[in-house]
Amino acid sequence: MELADEKGAAGISMRAIAARLGVEAMSLYNHVAGREDILDGMVDTVFGEVRLPNATTDWKPALRERCVSLRAALRRHPWAVGLLDSRSTPGPATLRHHDAVIGILRTGGFSVPMAAHAFSVIDSYLYGFVLQEHSLPFTTPAELEQVAGGILDSLPAGTHPHLTELAVEHALKPGYDYGAEFDFGLSLILDALRPDER
């Protein structure tokens, strides 16, 4: 996982792992079936890092807590976003995670189809936000100011007034944090979801 955190999932090869461990690549096959087996374990470890809320918690705060925790895990392991739901042999932490989320929705009054819809829309938003967050050309307010300032300076005078307004009146204001946009979007989704009528 450290190797993937540094180089991305594409950097995970039996040879690279062996080099990191100081062993011959062939010796790894005494412990794992191959690269796919390692990826399965890595994904399971990421799901194991996610804090699952108590099953007795109301569904909305429970899902919010889970989403915040999963986003934090994906920020630590950006390579995992595209792999989380791609594994055909999920491990115990992955299965426990998915079962718990479905259980929270079912206990909250969602039918099986609505639980599937809710799970899908929440994770689509969460994964998409994390992908966008990782691809931004800034991580600090100073970097944002430099990037936005460069864009604004390159615009011909009087063009793109709405983009200029958003940058100057919102993104470049002291205390702006792009990450706060996550909470706004998550609240919209959770507030729009409704358990089935019984």
In tens, the pLDDT along 26-65 reads 999 999 999 999 999 999 999 999 999 887 889 999 999 9
Domain count, the chain: 2
Please check the confidence at residue 163 and state whether its pLDDT lies above 80. yes
For residues 168 and 81, membership in a common domain is answered with yes
For residues 148 and 80, membership in a common domain is answered with yes
Instruction: Enter the pTM of the model.
Output: 0.90
Look at residue 55 and tell me if it is in a domain: yes
Look at residue 198 and tell me if it is in a domain: no
For residues 23 and 36, membership in a common domain is answered with no
For residues 27 and 37, membership in a common domain is answered with no
- Name the residue range of residue 164's domain: 32-192
Please check the confidence at residue 197 and state whether its pLDDT lies above 70. no
Distance CA 116, CA 122 (A): 10
First to last CA, the chain: 45
